[in-house]
Amino acid sequence: MEFSDLYGRDLICTQDWAKHELDLVLDLAGRMKRERYSSGYSSVLANKTFFMFFYNPSVRTRQSFEVAATELGGHAQFLEPKAMRLKTEKTAGETVEDAAQVMARYGHGLGIRILEDKVGTYGEGEDLLREYARWSTIPIISMAHDKYHPCQGLADVMGWSEWFNKGTNYPPDWRTLKGKKLLVTWGHGALARSWCSVQEAMLIGSRYCMDVTVAFPEGFDLDPQVIKWTEKNCNKNNSNFETTNHVSNGYKGAHVVYSRHWMSPEAYQDGEFLKQKEIEKALKYPDWICDTQKMALTDNAIFTHPMPIDRGHEVTDEVASGPRSCIYDVAENRLHVQKAIMALTMAGI
């Protein structure tokens, strides 16, 4: 298979792509990281524009995509709904069909970021991305939506494999993840976060032959479809999958600990996101914090998080800033993964 086979492809969830296609992204991202300022990649997106459509703000996402486009010789253009006359349930304006087709005449790729507080029901953000994909002739890339965060998932796997191989200055070896235990554990906090990053971690970790354990208090279940996919991926790879409602049992024997808050399935009611109720509910579980005592139960695990971190709630500073934390390595890898995705889908290299 040649790289050009990914030209024009949408990336909305990693589960949509074959494993060897994910491998292509990660292999190219590794090379781009090691050869970051090589002239070989500096004109891949020459005269090409990537539209970045932000319903929600960001730190890493906007910065990493803009830098990625620049380093590939292209341009990233920032867009917001408030600056565009778009049709909604409550207002007149341009339809997705019209907006998508027009933007496809101007640019070469479109990223969309739409999270929990910009939708009225779970899955509405995903529906929007797939509607844009239906009408657009350029790649639609999820920059995080209410269900999935594929760029983060790829950056996660890249970072973990670097740690379990020779380090961040060497090519990642995906085989080092086989048989490693990934713990995705709920963390209490005051941010009422969507499920996108944790669900993507479960899916991609299970694709790369990791054992996956998901831990959460009763009432904070994740998407049943994602649970089924994760279990199916693990079965295919002869890996283990389990869920638990115990606060610390999942830490036993873990190699990667991913402690992040997520909202409950009751977060939406009558088209409204009940943020304050979700925060109040979450703060009733202070024991669900990743700390040194729980990390001591692991097999010398690394700590990972997509950031921003709710320090003091999801994890203690001692763990998040400790010697086994890979949070900044993973954050850096967002740049390299996104460069690879853009190069493969927008330029077909």
Query: For the whole model, what pTM was predicted?
Result: 0.95
Q: 17 to each of 7, 9, 154, 331, how far by Cα in Å? A: 13, 9, 12, 22
- pLDDT of 88 reads 72
How far apart are the C-alpha atoms of 201 and 96, rounded to whole Å?
Answer: 29
Q: Where are the alpha helices (DSSP H) in the chain?
A: 19-34, 60-71, 96-106, 124-135, 150-164, 196-207, 224-236, 275-282, 292-295, 317-320, 327-342
Asked whether 121 and 152 are in contact (CB, 8 A), the reply is no
Radius of gyration of the chain (CA): 20
pLDDT per 10-residue tile (average), the chain, 349 residues: 75 97 95 93 97 94 98 97 77 88 97 96 97 98 98 97 84 89 95 96 98 98 98 98 98 98 97 95 96 98 97 97 97 98 95
- pLDDT of 3 reads 44
Domains and CATH numbers, the chain: 3-148+333-347 (3.40.50.1370), 152-330 (3.40.50.1370)
- pLDDT of 168 reads 72
